[in-house]
Amino acid sequence: MLLRAIRYCSTFESYLNEREKLRMALLLNKYPNKIIDEQFNNVLSKFGIDEPLTLTNYNRSRQKIIDSPSKDKLLFDMKFIQFNITSVQFTKEFIRFNITFGQFTIKLIRSNIKFVQLSLNIWHLYSIIHFYMKLAQFNLKFVQLSLTT
């Protein structure tokens, strides 16, 4: 927030106003004044600004902050998109498994089998719970289940 105030405020007076608004917001959220000052100084020291900002050095310090490279937001967005694609693919596979497992459950119930042995991995937990609920409806009690991770 302080960096945004420095980047957007072209005059030292407008920067002081924004800094005080930020300080008041932090004080209203019960942050001690000492910690606020320390954090403001930490932000400035990350850009090599060790002296307090004054009317004479504000423009030079502001230009240093503006010229500094910012974090590349495109990389973050690409990671987020890649995560979404992976999660959509996983969801499609999960839905496909649930449909197949549901068809298996229906066939099992219709064929009136009394003993079932299944071997599933832990990723199928939702389907297993659903499967047991279906079996409980039809009083199929003898189910042996082995889970692998």
Give pLDDT, residue 34.
92
**Structural contact between residues 145 and 122, judged by C-beta atoms closer than 8 angstroms:** no
User: How many other C-beta atoms are found inside a 10 Å radius of the C-beta of residue 131?
Assistant: 21
Domain ranges of the chain: 2-67, 74-148
Sign of CA dihedral 46, 48, 53, 56: negative
User: How many other C-beta atoms are found inside a 10 Å radius of the C-beta of residue 44?
Assistant: 20
Give pLDDT, residue 8.
86
The tokens describing 71, both together, are: 């974090």
Locate the DSSP E strands across 13-141.
115-121
CA distances from 74 to 70, 79, 82, 91, 123 (A): 11, 9, 12, 25, 32
pTM for the structure as a whole? 0.46
User: How many other C-beta atoms are found inside a 10 Å radius of the C-beta of residue 141?
Assistant: 9
Residue range 9-67, pLDDT digits in tens: 899 999 999 999 999 999 998 889 999 999 888 988 988 888 888 999 999 999 988 88
Residue range 58-116, pLDDT digits in tens: 999 999 888 887 654 444 455 555 555 555 555 666 667 667 777 776 776 677 666 66
User: How many other C-beta atoms are found inside a 10 Å radius of the C-beta of residue 92?
Assistant: 10
